[in-house]
Structure 1
C-alpha cells in the first residue's frame, strides 16, 4: 500500500483513509510514543487525560478547565459529578464501559456536541477523561474530530497521537470505522 492523501490533504501513512481495518489501525496506534501524561492537550483547549487528573481540582483549575466530559461516569474509580467540580466547571457524564461489546457509538454525537459547544465558548477549556485516558475518552475525542472537523479516522488518530498515546479497544475501533464510512458517504453526497 502506498501513501494516500486525506480530505485534509495530509498523507495517511500507508493506510487507505477511506477504509482502514482493525489491524491497520492497531499497527498505527502501536507506532510512536507509547506513554502519556495524566493530561495532554491534544487539540487547542481540548485536554485528554485520566482519572488521576480528574480528581485534581487544583490541577484542573491551573489548566483553566471550564468543562469536563467523564467517559467513565459512575464507575468506581471515576465518580464525577457537578457537585465535585462546583459551579465554575460544567460537567457531562457518559456511563461507558471499556468493553469491546459496549455500544459507544450512541454517545458520539451528544459528546461531540458537548465538546464543540464548550470549545465555541470564549475562554473555555475542556478536559475529557476516563480511567486511563486511552480508550473511552480517546474514542469520544476521535469522534469529535471526525464529526466537527471533517477528519478521517486515520487523520484523527494521527492528530491525537502527536500529543498523547491512545488505544481504543477493538469494539470502539469498529464503531469508529463505521462512523468514518458514514461520514465519508455523507461528504461524497454533498
Structure 2
C-alpha cells in the first residue's frame, strides 16, 4: 500500500536531486503529471491513461488539446480554460479538478494524466 511521504521526506528527496525530469512522472499511484504527453496518443495508450485533466486548455497554450483531440481513444477528458499568466486565478478550478481526480481514482482500472503548460 502506498504511503504518502511527509514534508521532511519530500524535502530530502527534492534536495537530493534524485528525481529525474521526464515528460511524464507518476506522482501518486495511477496519477501522472506531464506536459507533452497529452499530445502523444501513442504514449497515452502505452501508459494506459484513461482520464486527462488539462489545466492548460486553450489555443494560446502549448498543450492545445480538447475533448475532440482524444476521439476514439476511450479517454475521459476534463479541461480548464486557463491563461498561463501570474494573475490568472487557477484556484477557482481546484474543487472541480479534485472531484474529477477522486472520481477517476475510485475506479482501480483508471489512470489519469494532468497536463500543465
CA–CA distance in 2 between the matches of 1:39 and 1:127? 8
Q: Residue in 2 aligned with 1:45? A: 30
**49, 60, 77: which is aligned to 1:91?**
77
Give 1 or 2 for the bigger CA radius of gyration: 1
Number of residue equivalences: 109
Instruction: Please tell me the root mean square deviation across aligned C-alpha atoms, in Å.
Output: 2.4
Deviation, structure 1 residue 12: 3.6
Higher relative CO (CA 8 A, sep ≥ 6), structure 1 or 2?
A: 2
**Is residue 63 from structure 1 mapped to residue 47 from structure 2 by the alignment?**
yes
Query: Which structure carries more helix by proportion?
Result: 1
Structure 2: unaligned runs, 5 residues or longer: none
Q: From the superposition, tell whether residues 64 and 99 of structure 1 become closer, same or farther in structure 2 (CA, over 3 Å).
A: same
Other structure's SS at 1:114 match: helix
- Do 2:33 and 2:113's aligned partners in 1 also have CA atoms closer than 8 Å? yes
Deviation, structure 1 residue 102: 1.4
Matches within 5 A, 1:155-166: none
CA–CA distance in 2 between the matches of 1:86 and 1:58? 14
Deviation, structure 1 residue 97: 2.5
Other structure's SS at 1:31 match: helix
Would you identify which runs of 4 or more consecutive aligned residues in structure 1 move more than 2 Å? 10-13, 30-35, 97-100
- 1:121-158 per-position Cα deviation (integer Å, ceiling 9, x unaligned): 23010000122xxxxxxxxxxxxxxxxxxxxxxxxxxx
Greater CA drift, 41-50 or 67-76: 67-76
Other structure's SS at 1:71 match: strand
- Do 2:61 and 2:83's aligned partners in 1 also have CA atoms closer than 8 Å? no
Give me the TM-score of the superposition, normalised by structure 2.
0.80
Structure 1: unaligned runs, 5 residues or longer: 1-7, 14-26, 132-190
